[in-house]
Chain A
């Protein structure tokens, strides 16, 4: 009904209208509830909360959470695994992803659930361990919400991160039963950067692992010999930048080759690999953010990217989708908007810190915490 007319209008318009308030409502809905069809996101709910809350921050509408800010913060801390009184099993600490091996979260210490004293709970089982991406997402989200990270169990979290680094320098996501690759190196680096403590990472090995994952075409793959991929390239370059080894670990030639590879990803929006089509909204963040870290984002055709990102908006329920005329999801909604803000200074969205993937406002809150 009226769909046909809309399509025609859209084609005639230079850019689709930016429906900011619809996107804010979309993120609020994600925070409230997800339909049962998205049950496969069950073990990464903290990531989804990060996309939605950081998404509101990028939209400049974090005020919509003001009324329940404390509840959001308390809910995140529920997922923290605490060291027990003898500091045994420190390596399990961090934030949980799956609750499949967890005793009921709220029954562990009834005296402090749901209020400011809630800090998390002790691991219920050897499989009740942290997931490094969830630890990263939790800490970032807490910063965005203005928390002082006072309930973060630094000792446990750092032990948890340390236990996940492998001999070859890469990181696994969990203590048992996980693949290991550059995605988790990136998460480890964000955690250590925010906590300002690098004792949990062997920087030399992690750097070596990343540089070793550079493909013959100049981009970074999931592992040695794997195809170069824009998302993994972001993880690798952002990790090097956070560790402070970006300048020393890549030659000028390697950097030039990588910049060429990255700018070649732009078609209108961006693709993730050479010859891979159609373009996908999430690469509007991964590619420009990597270029920005390398000081080369001025090479992007901003107008083309903006047009593509705006074309992926869903004007009915809000949010952005992976491809034009598909359904929106939290990840692509967030990364599409974050990508707009990396590419240019615009009045549409707030500015993003490219390596940490939080707004400049949240980053400044972190700086203030560190300086105090």
Chain B
């Protein structure tokens, strides 16, 4: 079977359905293009990773090469880029040329935003389309559609990295943070484990209020309430640690955190992320107060053994390493 496939001509794709659309006329058959000599691509006698380009693809890119090499800035060149992008929206050269033509013809940016929006909706994980979107917004200076667009994309996939990146750029560049915390809270209500939303929360706090005492208390309360609902949520614990890194008390001593630990202790929580937090608290305390080592070291070790053998055995080697490490640091 493999041998047969190996022998097939890479360019034989005449049965490609897109070529048979009745409405499509090849560029080579369009009278208004007969002044252009298409530039065909030859890669010599031994092409590797040859893609079985459809006839339509070859036709469009042969004319595209010709237009670029002659630097033609025209309405027909613009249309040609639309056709080329429809076949391959990942071709960064086509996007770049399209931007040159857009500028040269002083095209309407709003129309172009609609065009790229359709492509984003079809290809939400394509780097080039998001880059194009960003350049257009930079040109127009008008971010009014961006929060809505990213909201729609995130409604399909709440962790789409490109959408978050674009949203962060828009928020930061145009200072649009006013309702962002509410947006993040909505997403966390949908999925309390959405790490992208937790990250966005951190970003918003950092870029707006910063980590003042009041804000630290507000964020700790928010996170602690979330952990009380779902305890073994890595995103929430990471966020808690992120907030505590701005807090002079560290992992020990803040009343909101102490209350959380009492609560989880009382409820006999055995969540691995809680246990690893306990170990880190003990390590911090042993670091700052040598007198506590004798009591805390066996306790920390006990927790680590539980993690290694019972609660989180997939990370067994790691927890056992940590146990050896703490012993080497703090045993007399």
Contact = CB atoms under 8 A, between A and B. Distances in A.
Contact of B235 (A45, A218, A275): A275
B318 interface: yes
A124 interface: yes
Contacts of B93: 43, 98, 100-101, 127, 177
A42 B57 CA distance: 11
Given A32-B6, A52-B49, A216-B245, A263 B88 contact: no
Contact of B39 (A103, A218, A227): A103
Interface residues of B, number: 78
B22 interface: no
A179 to B, nearest CB: 5
A216 B51 contact: no
A96 to B, nearest CB: 9
Nearest to B45: A114
Contacts of A163: none
Contacts of A275: 193-195, 233-235
Contacts of A218: 238
Given A34-B50, A275-B193, A75 B131 contact: no
Interface stretch (B27-35, B62-70, B105-113, B138-146): B62-70
B317 A102 contact: no
Interface string A49-70: 1001000000000000000100
B40 interface: yes
B interface SS class: helix
B196 interface: yes
Interface in A244-289: 259-260, 263-264, 266-268, 273-276
A104 B42 contact: yes
A35 interface: yes
Contacts of A222: 161, 165
Contacts of B52: 33-36
Interface stretch (B95-103, B147-155, B256-264, B288-296): B95-103
A106 B44 contact: yes
A41 B90 CA distance: 8
A72 B199 CA distance: 45
Nearest to A53: B48
A309 to B, nearest CB: 15
A36 B193 contact: no
Interface stretch (A6-14, A23-31, A199-207, A344-352): A23-31
Interface of A: 25, 28-36, 38-45, 48-49, 52, 68, 71-72, 74-76, 78, 97-107, 113-114, 118, 124-125, 127, 131, 173-174, 176-179, 215-218, 221-223, 225-229, 259-260, 263-264, 266-268, 273-276, 298-301, 304
6 contacts: A36-B52, A43-B90, A104-B42, A178-B131, A273-B195, A301-B316
